[in-house]
Amino acid sequence: MSRILMILDHSFPPDLRVENEIETLVEAGFEVCLLAIGPD
């Protein structure tokens, strides 16, 4: 299984584009980890 790390420079959720991308990647067989660095 391939793994993908997504790094965002803002808080998550909400971000529908990112959610859709993650869903598509998971359906394609990828394991996705998300690191969201947002304001405190």
Q: What is the pLDDT of residues 8-27, one digit of tens each?
A: 888 877 778 989 999 999 99
Rounded average pLDDT over 27-35: 95
pTM, whole model, 2 decimals?
0.77
Contact (CB, 8 A) for 13 and 19? yes
What pLDDT sits at residue 10?
84
What pLDDT sits at residue 6?
93
What pLDDT sits at residue 40?
58
Q: What is the dihedral of CA 10, 26, 3, 16, to 10 degrees?
A: -10
